[in-house]
Amino acid sequence: MRCPVIIRRALAGLAIGMFIAVIATPAMADDTIVNADIRANSDGILVGTALLQRSVASNGTETLSLHMSIPRGIGESSVCLAAAPFTTRASPGSCPYSLAAAGGTTADYQIPLGTTYAGRTLYVQAHAVTRSDTAYVGWQAGSPFFGNVAVAAPGSTPVPIGALGGVGLALLIGIAVLVRRPRHVNATPNA
């Protein structure tokens, strides 16, 4: 009746390995958060920071939150969205979202995305005027310079390496338990 003992040991090893995988792997958040610099003019001088957060509601609709902070002040700002990366500057006047900050140092957007970008990467071009300088979140060099920030779909974070390592460890422990069976040696006492 060795078979049940071996199977129990293998299952115990697999269970221990899976437990290690679960506790060693950080929980994956549903929201996608991206921090980005805000840079101005053709030389890309750092003028502020931005936080982009993409979240999904229980009904499957998504929202993009954008917080821009520029200590020198924000005269106006605008946001364009796309399903493909921006490769040039969009006209700020053609962007569907805009704020006139009137000299404040922050601009905050709450943009309902619905299900338009569900499961796909969203690309954001956020523009701000600070004093007389033109600035972009995710500044990209070019003629003219522009902005582009990729925000992955919520929950689309790939499986962390820790989880794969835990599963591999579970398999190794299970195999080790199977291979390391007690060996019986039939020895006859010397007379």
pLDDT in tens, 174-187: 555 555 555 555 55
DSSP 3-state assignment of 60?
A: coil
Name the DSSP class of 91: P
For residue range 93-107, what is the model confidence (pLDDT) as tens digits? 999 999 986 679 999
Q: What are phi and psi of 18, to 5 degrees?
A: -65, -40
pLDDT in tens, 9-31: 655 554 555 544 444 433 334 89
190 in a structural domain: no
**CA 111/CA 97 separation, integer angstroms:** 8
In a domain, 20, yes or no: no
**Cβ neighbours of 92 (radius 10 Å):** 19
> Any residues with CB less than 8 A from the CB of 8 and at least 6 apart, and which?
none
Question: Cα–Cα distance between 131 and 101 in angstroms, integer?
Answer: 12
Output 156 or 48, whichever has higher pLDDT: 48
Residue 146: is its pLDDT beyond 60? yes
User: Residue 22's pLDDT is what?
Assistant: 42
Q: So what's the pLDDT on residue 155?
A: 84
In a domain, 15, yes or no: no
Could you tell me if residue 129 is inside a domain?
Answer: yes
Whole domain around residue 70: which residue ranges? 32-151
Number of domains in the chain: 1
* CA gap 19, 40 in Å, rounded: 49
pTM to 2 decimal places: 0.67
Q: Is 175 part of any domain?
A: no
In a domain, 53, yes or no: yes
Give the DSSP letter string of 14-44.
HHHHHHHHHHHSPPPPSSEEEEEEEEETTTT
- The mean per-residue pLDDT over the stretch 133-151 comes to 97
What pLDDT, on a 0 to 100 scale, did the predictor assign at position 2?
Answer: 53
E strand residue ranges, the chain: 32-40, 45-56, 62-69, 76-82, 97-99, 106-114, 122-130, 133-137, 139-140, 146-147, 149-151
3-class state of residue 6 by DSSP: helix
The answer to whether residue 112 is domain-embedded is yes
* 182 lies in some domain: no
Look over the chain and give the mean of its residue pLDDT values, rounded to a whole number. 80
pLDDT at 90 over 60: yes
pLDDT at 60 over 80: yes
Over 90: is that where the pLDDT of 35 sits?
Answer: yes
Lowest mean pLDDT, pick from 43-47, 74-78, 122-126, 168-172: 168-172
Whichever domain contains 104, its CATH number is: 2.60.40
What single DSSP character describes residue 162? Answer: H
First to last CA, the chain: 32
Report DSSP state, residue 120: S
